[in-house]
Structure 1
């Protein structure tokens, strides 16, 4: 059985679940070992930093910690445990997932949860990833991001994302 710990940031009062995502806000999960960089494979990520991102700002919503993870070869520490499903369930509600690598079965489960996985070729600071997302939101989002925004109901004014003809 996989153990999961959550650290959620709240402004007022106690919430048992992560704050609801606001309309027009993109919720992004980043696979990390140290909360500073995008530097983990999906299966071996000990932590996921979850951010809300708008064209103007980003804010950390939650940090999720997993005790039992696979190594980077995809081999799980405890035989027979399914470590993918708890991670996918924990990330439900995010629109994007950034990681260094993700296997086919895990990617299928992530996509089925309506989370768009994005593999990044090498580690980089989380701030760089978030800044790049903000730039894409402010300018012309690529087609894959327009689709994510439309599916999430966060597209805002649709006309701003339509291709000019």
Structure 2
């Protein structure tokens, strides 16, 4: 399972710059289906000169493997990567449903490095959680 966020004002399309996003639609998905699990919304802010706004947006994406947006600044890219979130920039607005379909296909087929890495991390985490629940000790 992956959690992926989409910078969106209308909840239908990726249509926002990361730093100025009015909100994020956060989906959980596997190779077969996707489900909206959260809507994170933010007050209107200016795009420039407010680095502090990034912390709240990045915190809202905790647990996400990636975030899709129309643009993302260098500082935001560094901060996102530091917490394990892959920023993905689109050239033009795209429907979230179409992106989810592409993601599900990529999850099944493999070969997309950030998806493969995120799925491995999720599988490893599940393995360790099971081991701890079983009382395994080193």
How do residues 82-161 of structure 1 correspond to structure 2 at under 5 angstroms? 82-153=52-123
* 2:9 equivalent among 5, 30, 33: 33
Across the aligned residues of Structure 1 and Structure 2, the Cα RMSD in angstroms comes to 1.9
* Contact 1:116–1:148 under 8 Å retained in 2: no
More helix by share: 2
Secondary structure at the aligned position of 1:28 is classed as strand
Superposition TM-score, scaled by structure 2 size = 0.83
* Structure 1 moving runs of 4+ over 3 Å: 152-156
Change (3 A) 1:152 1:98: same
* Contact 1:28–1:50 under 8 Å retained in 2: yes
**Structure 2 portions without partners, runs of 5+:** 127-138
Tell me the number of residue pairs that the alignment of Structure 1 and Structure 2 aligns. Answer: 126
* Pairwise CA distance, 1:148: 2.4
Partner of 1:16 in structure 2? none
Secondary structure at the aligned position of 2:38 is classed as strand
Superposition TM-score, scaled by structure 1 size = 0.70
* Pairwise CA distance, 1:151: 2.8
